[in-house]
Each structure stands twice: as C-alpha cells, then as structure tokens.
Amino acid sequence: MNSYGPEKNSRLFGFSYKEDELEQINKVSPVPPNMDDGVTVAAGGLYGYAVDLDQQAGKDYELIRKYRCMAMHPEIDIAIENIINEAIVSDTNDSPVSIDLSNLDVSERIKTIIREEFSYILHLLDFNNKAHEMFRRWYIDGRLYYQKVIDLNQPERGITDIRNIDALKIKPIREYKKPALPEPNLKNTRKTYSSSTGEVFGKASTQMPARVVEYFAYNKKGMNYMGRSFGNSGQNQTVKIARDAVTYVTSGLVDGNNGMVMSYLNKAQKSLNQLRWMEDAIVIYRMARAPERRLFYIDVGNLPKAKAEQYLRDTMARYRTKITYDQATGEIRDNKKYMSMLEDYWLPRREGGRGTEVSTLPGGQNLGELSDLKYFQDKLYRSLNIPLSRMQEGAGFQIGKSDNIMRDEVNFSKFVGRMRKKFAGIFVDMLKTQLVLKGVVTPKEYDSMKEHITYDFVYDNHFAELREGEMLMQRMNVASMCEPYLGKYFSVYQVRHNILGYTDAEIKEQDRQIAYERNVGIIPDPNAQLAAENEEEMAAEGQPVDLAGGQVPQDDMDLSGAGGPPSSVDIVNAAANLNK
C-alpha cells in the first residue's frame, strides 16, 4: 500500500509517491535518466550538489519571451491558428479528445473507472472550452505546467483542483544524491555482469550517484529572479514543489548542445527576421525612389560664390512650397522652413551653360516587384511545416480524388499527429495521479498500462480521409478480382489478411460481428438467400417446388402409387375416370 504526502525531512511543497529506495539504488549507471526533457541538472561532485539558476533560468526566460513576441506577428499568428485548428477540432456535441481502452487487458469495471476519471480530469481542465488556448500555449512556449492540488488530509479523494503555471515562473530541477542505504554486497568484483542483473562491480556503486531527486523551483515574479540557493531573503520567495505535484509536458524538441527545451517556433526565428528586414527595406526604397523629383538648374552667371549661393537660396524660397496636412486637426499648413531629401533639387549653373532649366528626375522602376518578399514569406511557412497551398490568397478547399492531394498535406497530417501524441502527455500524468491516489492501481501497474492507453482526438483532415478512402477502394477492387480464384490460388484468410490488411484480431472481431448481425436479421443469411433464388427459378420453369425448398422427388409424381414413370394404360384409365 502506497502512502502519500510530503516526504520526511524535505522542504518540497505538495505531494509525491513514495517508491522503494532499494530499487532506485540498485539502478546504478553513469548515464543520468531522461536527458531529453530539458531539466536543469544540479552540478556537483563528491561533497555535494548546487543548483545554479542564474544563467540557465535567464536563458529560458529570454527564450520563452522571444517565442511569445514571435507569435504576435501576423504571419506567425496565421500559421499557428492553422496548426491548432487542425490539431484541436471543436465539435458541438463531442469532446475534442476521448480515451481508447480497447488494447488494455483489464476488467470492464476497471475500464469504466478509468473512463470516469478521465472525464473528471477533462472537467477540471475545462478542456472542451479551453483546449484551443492550452494547445496554443504549449505550442508557443514549448512546455506546459499544471499544478495538481489535492487534499493532504484526504488524498483518496484524488485531484481537487488543477491550476495552470506560467512557464516564465517555474523551472524543473534534477539532483543526484548518494544512496542512503549501505553499499550493496558484491560477492565477485571481477565478474562481468549483464545489464539485466542490475548489479555492478568494483566501486562503481560508491562513485556514481544512484538516487535521483526531482522537483520544481517556482517564483511568482519569474524564473529570472531565481538565485543560487533556496529559502533566504535574497531568493524572493522561491519555493520547491514536488515532482509528482506538477504535470510537465514539453514539445520534445531539445537543443543537443545545451539541453534547453525549444518551441516549434525556434527554427522560424531567422526566417521571420529576414522577412521583417526585407519588408522594411522595400518600404524605405519605395519612399525614397517612388516620387518624381524636379531638378532646377539656376544660371548664376559670373556672380561670386557667396552671392551665387544667396541668389540660389532666394530663388528656392520664392518658388518652393511644402504643403502639409494634419490628419488629427484637418489643418493644411505651409511648412516652407522644412527641407527633406524627397523634395526638389536646386543646382547652380555658371555662365556659358544653357541658362536656367527645369527637368524631372524619374522615380524608381519595378517598384511592384515582390518576388523576393514572397520567397522569404514562403520560407517562413516552410519552417513552420505549413503547406504553402493553405497560405495562398484565394485558394479554396476542394474535395477530390487522392491523386490531387499534395505531398505537403500528407506530411502536415503526420506532423499534427506527432504533436497530438506529445500533448497527450498531460492526460497520461494526470490520469496516473488520479488513479493512484484513489487506489485503483499502483504506480508500477499504471506504468505498464499506459502503453496500451491511447487518446483519440477528433480528426478533421479531409486529405487523410480521402487518401484512406482511395486505398480502401483499391483493396476492394483487388479483392473482387481474386474472388473467382478463391480455393484455387487464394485462401479467404490470405485475401483478408494480405490484401484487405486485416490483423488476426480484426478478423476474429469481424467474424463475430457478422455472425451476430445474421442471427438478429440485420444482414440476410447467404445460404437462405441462395435457396430462395433456386425456388424462384424452378417456379418460373414450371417445376414443382417443395415447401421446404427444392424440387419435388419423382416418386411423389407417381399417380398410381407404384414406382417408376406411368404407363400408357394408366394414362388412358386416368382420362376415362376424369370423363366420368
């Protein structure tokens, strides 16, 4: 029987499952577990461990803020909405997700309890109404945190509340500590043990830490306020929360160089910056080159330089106008005292030239060319795994054959399926806590059961449905072509298994369902239908038909009662009797 509550001699807030410490100590390995979850590992050595959150937490803090700023750009926002609308399909009557226990080998009573607890978790999360916002936060930040609140006085009640934690305020930590129990007694230190025995030799058990302590560091002001230690005044009230009291789901993308969790927006940073730079460059170029400017060549004759410049300024002031419009007040003003590069050019010309002249400087050419901007925009959408056909202007949705489905749509459907599996980790962890606290299963039992529990999201990708329909049609055509050769070249099992693609379990289930539908009359029995067709054919030919089906035996046609066909004498006597 497992007990729950805060660990003894611990400052962890919340609750945790108490596991067998001996089992943890026997798992000795120089490789730490779960290196792909982006957890900060406490650095240390022989004399202790310390957590340095100054740099690591600061990097995560800035990275998450960068992701959220990226999501505010219109191109990124449109792409995110396309992905979320494909992953989370809101139906008026159904929930966006349901649990499938068909592969779980437990009793029906346990399955019923699991379904009820799963519905209770969806109710606590308000998943039917907030599924879109939850998936959006997870997609942008690359991680999602939820605290599971329970009644420590009555843990058997299960989870009583679920609260979302901002990813900027919490950080997962992992420490490796020395085993508290004595060193295992190793009989033969020179013997080589396999990995399945769980034993070590030499002094590996004392050199490698065997006990793993995981917790979360939480600060209400943000992880950038977390320091090197816990509990002092400079820490700004950073607290430790037990690992089992928080549900932590990541995107699964981890930087292999520094172990930091990345968002799906990470690879779009460069493309977005290039797109912004290109847009700014186009705007600046058009503003500088679009207007046509006038060139005034003023003949100054043989005037000295000072008088020539004064004469040029007087001419500029006499003819130059700068009319401005104030959008706020509606006033029109003449701002002649301001001069900009977008106005006319005034150039002096010495004696011997062509005199005073006014000409026009043409504006920039090909200002409507946007091919380079379109290139960076398409590059941005490709970095987000969005099919370009979805982002084209005026492109409508058409239902057609699977031959018209582009490869990008198939890949996009697979990408959304992978994200759904990662996001479903939130249900895996919460369902485990609920079932363990209520005593339905133990933690070890649930770890063996969770591989057989699947979560079905409502699907709305019509391209995948069209592809599956086309494949089923092709299989049925091949099966119909093999039907005349059943029993000669093909067996029924081979057609159902190899051509139609049924598994052995599906074949058994289909046979059971077909037999049930025949018994209740949903579908007709093919043998009875064949007998009825034979009766109709014999009745059309004028042959006697037995009530039970089939042709009447020849003996029943003998009018004299003797066997064999009637003779001519019998026929004459029978006619005479009819005349009488």
**Which residues are bridge partners to 177 per DSSP?**
211
What pLDDT is attached to residue 36? 61
The encoded tokens of residue 422 equal 């990662």
CB distance 566 to 554 below 8 Å: no
Matching residue, tokens 């037999």? 515
Query: Is the pLDDT at 58 greater than 60, yes or no?
Result: yes
Q: Where are the alpha helices (DSSP H) in 290-370?
A: 305-319
Query: Is the pLDDT at 195 greater than 50, yes or no?
Result: no
How confident is the model over 22-28, as a mean pLDDT? 54
> To the nearest whole number, what is the mean pLDDT of the chain?
75
- Rounded to whole angstroms, the Cα distance separating 96 from 456 reads 8
CB distance 38 to 143 below 8 Å: yes
CB distance 88 to 139 below 8 Å: no
Query: Is the pLDDT at 202 greater than 50, yes or no?
Result: no
- Nearest alpha-carbon partner for 503 in 488, 493, 513: 493
Residue 283: band (very low, low, confident or very high) from pLDDT cuts 50, 70, 90: confident
What pLDDT is attached to residue 340? 53
Query: Is the pLDDT at 295 greater than 80, yes or no?
Result: no
What pLDDT is attached to residue 503? 86
Matching residue, tokens 């919460």? 430
What pLDDT is attached to residue 95? 82
- Nearest alpha-carbon partner for 433 in 102, 147, 134: 147
Q: What is the 3-state secondary structure (H, E, C) of 522-566?
A: CCCCHHHHHHHHHHHHHHHCCCCECCCCCECCHHHHCCCCCCCCC
| Proportion of the chain above pLDDT 90, given as a percent | 23
What pLDDT is attached to residue 48? 39
How confident is the model over 386-404, as a mean pLDDT? 64
Q: What is the Cα gyration radius of the chain?
A: 41
Q: How far is CA 356 from CA 173, 300, 305, 315, 362, in A?
A: 80, 9, 17, 11, 20
- Rounded to whole angstroms, the Cα distance separating 42 from 1 reads 32
Residue 567: band (very low, low, confident or very high) from pLDDT cuts 50, 70, 90: low
The encoded tokens of residue 550 equal 């089939």
What pLDDT is attached to residue 522? 81
Query: Is the pLDDT at 564 greater than 80, yes or no?
Result: no
Strand 48-50, strand 40-41: pairing? unpaired
How confident is the model over 12-35, as a mean pLDDT? 59
Give the lowest-confidence range in 121-125, 185-189, 234-238, 440-444: 185-189
- Rounded to whole angstroms, the Cα distance separating 121 from 104 reads 20
Give per-residue burial for 417-453: e unless 16+ CB within 10 Å, then b. Answer: eebbeebbbbbebbbbbbbbbeebbeeeebeebbeeb
CB distance 173 to 216 below 8 Å: yes
Helices (H) and strands (E) in the chain, counts: 17, 20
Give the lowest-confidence range in 31-35, 90-94, 107-111: 31-35
Residue 68: band (very low, low, confident or very high) from pLDDT cuts 50, 70, 90: very high
Residue 153: band (very low, low, confident or very high) from pLDDT cuts 50, 70, 90: confident
The more confidently predicted of residues 451 and 333 is 451
What pLDDT is attached to residue 228? 43
Query: Is the pLDDT at 43 greater than 60, yes or no?
Result: no
The more confidently predicted of residues 41 and 448 is 448
Query: Is the pLDDT at 282 greater than 90, yes or no?
Result: no
What pLDDT is attached to residue 338? 54
Query: Is the pLDDT at 434 greater than 90, yes or no?
Result: yes
Q: CB count, 10 Å around CB of 121?
A: 20
What pLDDT is attached to residue 559? 44
User: Per residue in 368-379, pLDDT tens?
Assistant: 778 888 899 999
Residue 146: band (very low, low, confident or very high) from pLDDT cuts 50, 70, 90: very high
What pLDDT is attached to residue 281? 84
The encoded tokens of residue 291 equal 């207007």
Query: Is the pLDDT at 22 greater than 70, yes or no?
Result: no
- Rounded to whole angstroms, the Cα distance separating 561 from 140 reads 95
Residue 395: band (very low, low, confident or very high) from pLDDT cuts 50, 70, 90: low
- Rounded to whole angstroms, the Cα distance separating 313 from 138 reads 64
- Rounded to whole angstroms, the Cα distance separating 75 from 96 reads 26
How confident is the model over 212-223, as a mean pLDDT? 83
Residue 115: band (very low, low, confident or very high) from pLDDT cuts 50, 70, 90: very high
Give the lowest-confidence range in 95-109, 398-412, 428-442, 551-565: 551-565
**Which amino acid belongs to residue 517?**
E
Query: Is the pLDDT at 385 greater than 70, yes or no?
Result: yes
How confident is the model over 553-579, as a mean pLDDT? 51
Give the lowest-confidence range in 104-113, 156-165, 272-281, 522-531: 522-531
What pLDDT is attached to residue 341? 47
**Which residues are bridge partners to 40 per DSSP?**
173
In Å, how far from its chain's centre is CA 96?
Answer: 13
The more confidently predicted of residues 569 and 244 is 244
User: Per residue in 259-268, pLDDT tens?
Assistant: 788 999 999 9
Give per-residue burial for 370-383: e unless 16+ CB within 10 Å, then b. Answer: eeeeeebbbebbeb
The more confidently predicted of residues 14 and 206 is 14
- Rounded to whole angstroms, the Cα distance separating 87 from 420 reads 7
What pLDDT is attached to residue 323? 62
| pTM: predicted TM-score of the whole model, two decimal places | 0.68
What pLDDT is attached to residue 486? 86
